[in-house]
Each structure stands twice: as structure tokens, then as C-alpha cells.
Amino acid sequence: MKRPLPLPTYSALGQFAVILGIHPRTYPQPLESPTREKRAVKIVILDGRPLAAERAAWSGLDQFGSVEYHDFTAPDDVPIRARGADVLVTNKAPIRAPLIAGSTELRFVTVTATGYDCVDIAAAREKGIPVSNVPVYSTRSVAQFVFALLLELCQNVARHAEAVRAGEWTNQPDFALRKTSLFELAGKTMGIVGLGRIGQQVAEIAQGFDMKVIASHSFQPAPVASGSIERRDVDKVFAQSDVISLHCPLTPQTAGIVNRDRLARMKPTAFLINTARGALVVEDDLAEALNAGRLAGAGIDVVSKEPIRPENPLRTAKNCLITPHIAWATEEARARLMEATVANVAAFVAGSPVNVVN
């Protein structure tokens, strides 16, 4: 039986700032205004299942008003379910400009994730609606998962364990059974594209494996995060690395940054790791490079359309590990995410939104 997520309870906004290291931000439209009749706050959770499928896990929000919970909301149903809401809580359910422009009650949106591309930020800003995210909850979990994928590519633990279960070790005379080539990380070069919190955590772990770390940030040499991280432009990072790990946000500038041209710059012995956003990669180009042996392998936790479609070319690409967008989802990270989501709503109700991205 799954352990339920811890349910945070708070008595004062100041506790949030201390616990989470966040700072209140004044926003021009508090929940209550002198010209508006005071009433109960209506909070609608559009897609709560990825964080916590049990309604009880969301009870920390009940102190602020009425809470309407949905496991999942299809895009066409979002405007219907959002009707009359003061606060929308979303993970991936899209909140687009027409909904924002047409809503007379919506005052706040909080995203249960770090990425917030599911919300039309410009439309919300124009209407004076703050949008908050949760910026730091999954840093350690995602960085750890990068190395779960990378070590599997280097050591093929699952394949060897399956061979033992199938009797292959028992039925051969040697003391060891080696099904694939195995590789050390020491002395290799880790190339990081996007040197934010997660990118810096990955760099620190890589250095613990005695890897050299080079990095690029926003297509420019990365800001200095450590004296031992060397800065390169993005094309040189792709060309010089034994491992590329993607940690940049998805923007019009970064969409498709891993394409045929950059894959051709990579060493044929290199690995690509993507725990950021699926659309950073042109999936047809990556599948082609893997199938042609121009890239040694890839570890992918995100794809361009999720859940993954049957026709996605990476499903059948050679030496491509695909996991179902779980790098963020450790028990500890999910508990932090729930705590911070409650804190975001509490701060808004108190009139001082935090973690505002617009």
C-alpha cells in the first residue's frame, strides 16, 4: 500500500518563507478588494493525479475555501471546469489566453511543477493574474535520475540481471558473464546544456565520479557556478562531451536544439540524457542517429507528446532507454511539491504571492 503524502499545516505565512526559502512578492490584485464582496475562495485542481491521486492528500488547501478535485482534465474540458474558480491548480492541463481573457473570477494560477509552459503567461500578465510555480522541489531527484539513466547505459545492469534470471550465468563455465561493453565515467567529459539549479547539481555529482564538466547556458557561455566548470558555447559542448545532459527550459529558442546538425557533432561513443523537456529533441533525428550507430545511446525521461505515442520513433530506436516522465517523482520530491503548492495558495490568499513567474 502506498504511503500517503504528508499533509502540511501552517498557521502563518512567515513559516512558508522560512521553510521554503521564498520571498513574498506584492501583486497589484489581491484576492479581496474593497469593491468586491467577500466570499469563499473556490479552488479547482485540474489534474491532481500525477502528484497525488488521493483527494485527502490535497486537504492542506481546504483551509482556504472550497476545493474541487479532478484526477485529469482534457484540454477541451478545462474552460468548463475552470468556470467560477478564483484559483486554478494545474500540472499539465492547458490554461490558454481565451480562458484567461473570458474569466471574470480567476485571480491566481499555481502550477504543480517547475515548468509552466502549460499557462499562457503573457495573457495572464495582461489581465493582472499572477502565475506561480514550484522552482526547487525536484532538483536532487532529477539530478539523481540523470545518473540512474547514465549508469544503466554504461553498465546495463537490468540486462545482466535478466540474463541471470534466465539461467545464462548458470549454463556457462566462466565465473563472469558479460553481455555488453561496460564503461567507467571517470575521466569522461560531462556536457551540461542549461546550468540552472538542476544542471549545477548534475555537475556536482559528475565531479564526484571524477568527470570533467563543461557547460553552456542559453546558447552563451554558462555563468560561473563553480571554478571547476568550464564554459563553452553550445556547439562545442556537443562536440567535446562524452555525455550530454539537457537542463534548459523549453522556449522558442531551445525547441529542437538537439537536431541532426548537433547530433552529427557528437562523438559516436557519446550518450545523450534528457530529463528536461521532450521537445528540446527532434526525435526523428535522434532515432536516426541511434539506429545508424552515430550515437552510442540515449536515456530519455521526457518526449514531445506525453503519454508517448505508439508511432514515436524512439520507442524502437537502438540503445534508447525511455522512462515515463518520473525523474521528478520521488516520495520526498512529491512531498515538497505538495507543501510548496499549499504555500503558494496561502501566500496569494494573504495578498503577497510568491514564486511568481509573470
Give yes or no for residue 26 having a pLDDT over 70.
no
End-to-end CA gap in the chain? 40
| Chain position carrying cell 496561502 | 346
The verdict on 335 and 303 lying in the same domain is no
Active site residue 325: yes
- The mean pLDDT of 115-124, rounded to a whole number, is 94
Quick check: is 61 in a domain? yes
The verdict on 22 and 86 lying in the same domain is yes
The verdict on 314 and 169 lying in the same domain is yes
Q: Partners of 356 in the beta sheet?
A: 132
Quick check: is 358 in a domain? no
Q: Are 321 and 330 in contact (CB under 8 A)?
A: no
pLDDT of amino acid 7: 42
| Chain position carrying cell 556536457 | 191
Q: Grade residue 40 by pLDDT with cuts at 50, 70 and 90.
A: confident
Q: Read off the pLDDT of residues 289-314 as tens digits, 9 standing for 90 and up.
A: 999 999 999 999 999 999 999 999 99
Average pLDDT of the chain, as a whole number? 90
Quick check: is 311 in a domain? yes
pLDDT of amino acid 98: 97
- The mean pLDDT of 145-170, rounded to a whole number, is 98
Q: Are 138 and 333 in contact (CB under 8 A)?
A: yes
Give yes or no for residue 351 having a pLDDT over 90.
yes
Number of domains making up the chain: 2
Quick check: is 269 in a domain? yes
Quick check: is 356 in a domain? no
Active-site pick, 107, 217, 232, 325:
325
Residue 132, helix vs strand vs coil = strand
pLDDT of amino acid 8: 43
| DSSP 8-state code for residue 95 | B
Give yes or no for residue 12 having a pLDDT over 80.
no
The verdict on 143 and 225 lying in the same domain is yes
Q: Rounded to an integer, what distance in angstroms lies between the CA atom of residue 96 and that of residue 101?
A: 9
Give yes or no for residue 2 having a pLDDT over 90.
no
The verdict on 36 and 91 lying in the same domain is yes
Give yes or no for residue 82 having a pLDDT over 80.
yes
Active-site pick, 217, 262, 277, 336:
277
Active site residue 160: no
The verdict on 314 and 339 lying in the same domain is no
**Contacting residues for 271 by C-beta, under 8 A, at least 6 apart:** 150, 153, 154, 242, 243, 244, 295, 296, 297, 298, 299
Active-site pick, 105, 126, 162, 306:
306
The verdict on 263 and 284 lying in the same domain is yes
pLDDT of amino acid 16: 39
- The grid coordinates listed for 14 are 512567515
Q: Grade residue 321 by pLDDT with cuts at 50, 70 and 90.
A: very high
Q: Rounded to an integer, what distance in angstroms lies between the CA atom of residue 260 and that of residue 282?
A: 8
Q: Rounded to an integer, what distance in angstroms lies between the CA atom of residue 75 and that of residue 96?
A: 10
The verdict on 177 and 295 lying in the same domain is yes
The verdict on 301 and 155 lying in the same domain is yes
DSSP per residue, 292-355: TTSS-EEEES--SSSSPPTT-GGGGSTTEEE--S-TT--HHHHHHHHHHHHHHHHHHHTT---S
Domain of residue 107, residue span = 13-136+331-349
Residue 164, helix vs strand vs coil = helix
Q: Is the dihedral of CA 283, 289, 290, 291 positive or negative?
A: positive
Quick check: is 169 in a domain? yes
Strand blocks (E) in 37-99 = 41-45, 65-69, 87-90
Q: What percent of the chain has pLDDT over 90?
A: 83
Quick check: is 4 in a domain? no
The verdict on 187 and 161 lying in the same domain is yes
- The grid coordinates listed for 341 are 503548492
- The grid coordinates listed for 213 are 564538466
Q: Are 39 and 89 in contact (CB under 8 A)?
A: no
Active site residue 306: yes
pLDDT of amino acid 181: 96
- The mean pLDDT of 142-149, rounded to a whole number, is 98
* Helix pair 139-155, 157-165: axis angle to 10 deg: 60
The verdict on 129 and 189 lying in the same domain is no
Quick check: is 6 in a domain? no
Q: Read off the pLDDT of residues 211-256 as tens digits, 9 standing for 90 and up.
A: 999 999 865 444 555 568 999 999 999 999 999 999 998 889 999 9
CATH code, domain with 116: 3.40.50.720
Q: What percent of the chain has pLDDT over 70?
A: 86
Give yes or no for residue 130 having a pLDDT over 80.
yes
The one-letter amino acid at 312: N
The verdict on 128 and 145 lying in the same domain is no
